[in-house]
Amino acid sequence: MITDKGVSGLLTDGLAMPWLIGNELRRILCMPVLNFLIAFHGIRMGDGWRVYGLPMIQKFRGSRIEIGQRVWIRSWRSSNPLAPNHPVVLATRSSDAEIKIGNDVGLSGTTIVAARSIFIGDRVLIGSNSTVADTDFHPLDWFDRQIDPLNGKSAPIVIEDDVFIGMNCIILKGVRIGRGSVVGAGSVVTQNIPAGRIAAGNPALVVRDLK
């Protein structure tokens, strides 16, 4: 669970990890701009969140983006030792698309793109520079691409509670990752992963049970 340690806790951490102080000062200074950005795009966002660097938001008119409580969004390179190589991206590509993120979720340089729907449960951690996209973006057939290059297939993605996704992973359309499962770093997930499993590889396959 991601917790808020309060001022005293941050000061204590700052003595051991001085770079945290600079990140916190930058975060506080950016809050007015972030609040405007959230309101401008009509994003529903819970309390207790911490955002280190402005996310890139591309919200299709009429679509929905909902973010739960105590969510940490890290876009600055200095906010994570794995150095996110771009801001967190929240993008919807149709008027009926939806992104819903639960409570106590951590995102670091994560790209989330929904043409239909992406649901991320509570206490999910997504490692640095991973991508979750429910669409192929473009048709696979060359002739179809000439007719409508943006008409790629799409299917909803569900990431259940307590999932941990390692860095540099790709989660593709139509996938459900079961509760508590772990996806190894650098994996490409093309099919469902049952609850309580460890999966890794390209394409990701179940390696073993967690217990």
> Which residue in 26, 50, 138, 153 is the catalytic one?
138
Omega of the bond leading into 81 within 30 degrees of 0 (cis): no
| Tally of CB atoms within 10 A around 45 | 17
Q: Is residue 1 situated within a structural domain? A: no
> Does residue 12 surpass a pLDDT of 80?
no
> Does residue 4 surpass a pLDDT of 70?
no
Q: What is the pTM of this model?
A: 0.86
User: What share of the chain in percent tops pLDDT 70?
Assistant: 91
> Does residue 3 surpass a pLDDT of 50?
no
Q: Is residue 106 situated within a structural domain? A: yes
Short-list 129, 153, 168, 172, CA closest to 193: 172
Identify the pLDDT of residue 20: 76
Residue that the structure tokens 């951490």 belong to: 13
Average pLDDT estimate for 63-81: 91
What the block records as the tokens of 60 is 């299709």
Q: Is residue 133 situated within a structural domain? A: yes
Identify the pLDDT of residue 80: 81
For 29, residues 6+ apart whose C-beta sits below 8 A from its C-beta are: none
Whichever domain contains 22, its CATH number is 2.160.10.10
Q: Within 13 A of 1's CA, how many CA atoms are on the CB side?
A: 6
> Does residue 37 surpass a pLDDT of 60?
yes
Average pLDDT estimate for 78-94: 89
- Containing domain of residue 161, as a range? 6-209
| Residue 41 is among the residues annotated as catalytic for this protein | no
Average pLDDT estimate for 155-171: 98
Q: Are 206 and 197 in contact (CB under 8 A)?
A: yes
As a whole number of angstroms, the distance between CA 47 and CA 62 comes to 23
Q: Is residue 90 situated within a structural domain? A: yes
Number of domains in the chain: 1
Confidence band (pLDDT; 50, 70, 90) for 2? very low
Q: Is residue 165 situated within a structural domain? A: yes
Confidence band (pLDDT; 50, 70, 90) for 82? confident
> Does residue 8 surpass a pLDDT of 60?
no
Of 87 and 80, which is predicted with more confidence?
87
Confidence band (pLDDT; 50, 70, 90) for 14? low
